[in-house]
Every structure is written in C-alpha cells, then in structure tokens.
Amino acid sequence: MERDFLRKKLFLFDIDGTLLSPGPVSRRTLDRVIADLLGQSPDLQYEDVAGSTDPIIVQRALRKIGVDSGEFNEWTSKVITEYLKRLPAVFDEADEPFVYDDALILLASILEQDNAVGVMSGNMQAAAEIKLAKFDLLQKFPFGIYADETDDRSAMPIIARERAWDVYHEAFRLADMIIIGDTDADAKAAVNNGCKSIIVSRRKETWLKAEAAGASLVVSSLADVDLESFLS
C-alpha cells in the first residue's frame, strides 16, 4: 500500500465549473452564433451544456431548433468555426468569468507533491486555451485532451495516458489517474476507465448525481480534499 501511495499520479482537470466559471459567456456566445447562422436561438441553458463536449452541445442546440439530423455534421462544423472566431474577444472583455480559489489550492497541493497534471475538457482546444490563458493557467498544464480529438468524454482518459507518456515520459496506470470535475459525466468517465475521480459539487443537484455515477470522492470545495488520505 505504501509503495502504491508513493507512485506518481496523473490528475486530469476539467475546466468549466471546476477550474473556472465561464459565467454565461460561452453559452451566450454559442447561442448568438446559432441564431445568426440559422435564424433561431436554441436558448441554451446550464443543463444543455454541463458535462458535455462542445460538438455534442452544438448538436443538442441544433436539435432544439429543429435542424434535420442529416445536416448536423455540416452545421456543427460551421457553428464551431464561427464560435471560435468570436470567443477570444468576447471572453477577454467579459467580467463574469472567474477562477475558483479552491481549485487553485488543490492544484498547488498536487504540484507540490510532484504529481503530473493535464487538462481533460469538453471544450475545443482553442476555446479551452482562451479560457485558461485569461487567468494565466495555461502554462500550468503541460498537455490537454479536448473535444477536437473526441466528443466522447469517456474516451479521453486513454488518450490522456498516451499524451502523458509523450510529455512526462512516464507510463501511468489507469488506476493512478484521477479525474477532477464538477459533473456526473466526469465521474462516469473515471468509472468507465478504472480511474479515480474527485467531483466538486458547485450546484446542489450535483452531489447525488455524482455519487450515483460512482465518484470516488464528492466535496463541496476542492480545498477540502486531503490528498494523502484520498490516495492512501
């Protein structure tokens, strides 16, 4: 047990709702893009986007406004392309986004113990980097797995393990990988790959959903995580 505890771990951080709050900026921008391109707003709500990857969110929005599923691929590409054109200026100028202090506390603790870190996000890479860069967080993560590579969150841990080898030159067991997120989708991705998970419940409905999904640990604040206890 002691030997296992001493093994270096790989912590994979979600972005939206975990590291930072984008406020309504991303959702509002995507909504406006769709309205401009297709003449109708999907009126995206938190429930439409939480835990999902950007391509899935767009397809959900297209379905809400009645776009034929046969046109999803074409319109998803067009919407995402336009969204990524608009997001840099909109996000940079917005006052609503902020970083979660508890996430910074946990990140610092993880790095102090010489563990490996990466990003595992449903954002497209360009969107993720815009968000992280606004708060000087981008340089803290040597690599990331994003929706450009797969729109299936449960497929991301395997890709992350391969990417970690390229960056850290270490082979991480799936059991030594911890997904840190804020939705039951993060917990499910961990369970489906034999990883552990830490889920922060920032909304009251998250706690029970995360537990039901098999989260290893659910907390109301990431600052409450005792790494030594969690990893032992």
Beta strand extents in the chain (DSSP E only): 10-13, 20-21, 98-99, 116-120, 144-145, 177-181, 196-200, 217-219
Question: Which residues pair with residue 99 across a beta bridge?
Answer: 20
| pLDDT block averages, 10 residues each, the chain of length 232 | 65 98 95 97 90 94 95 97 98 96 98 96 98 97 97 96 96 97 97 98 92 98 96 89
* Vertex 171: Cα angle to 170 and 177 (nearest 5): 105
Q: Using CB atoms within 10 A of its CB, is residue 115 exposed (0-12), middle (13-18) or buried (19+)?
A: middle
Please give the residue range of the domain that contains residue 31: 25-93
- The verdict on 16 and 116 lying in the same domain is yes
Q: Rounded to 5 degrees, what are φ and ψ at 19?
A: -80, -40
| CATH number of the domain enclosing 144 | 3.40.50.1000
Give yes or no: residues 191 and 127 share one domain.
yes
Could you say which DSSP state residue 70 is in? G
64 and 106 assigned to the same domain: no
Residue 80 sits in the same domain as residue 125:
no
Final residue before a domain boundary, out of 93, 121, 141: 93
Q: Are residues 131 and 178 in the same domain?
A: yes
Residue 151: what pLDDT?
92
Q: Write down which residue in 93, 128, 148 finishes a domain.
A: 93
pLDDT of 4 reads 54
Are 18 and 131 contained in the same domain?
yes
Q: How many domains are there within the chain?
A: 2
In degrees rounded to 5, what are phi and psi of residue 118?
-155, 175
Beta-carbon contacts of residue 183 (< 8 Å; ≥ 6 apart): 14, 17, 50, 51, 199, 206, 209, 210
- Whether 193 and 88 map to the same domain: the answer is no
* Predicted local distance difference test score (pLDDT) of residue 2: 42
Q: If you search the block for the tokens 């959900």, which residue do you land on?
A: 60
Tell me the pTM: 0.94
Pairwise CA distance, residues 102 & 182, whole Å: 13
Regarding whether 212 and 101 lie in a shared domain, the answer is: yes
Let me know whether 101 and 195 are in one domain. Answer: yes
Q: Which of 51, 72, 93 is the last residue of a domain?
A: 93
Distance CA 154, CA 147 (A): 11
Q: Are residues 69 and 42 in the same domain?
A: yes
Q: Are residues 13 and 32 in the same domain?
A: no
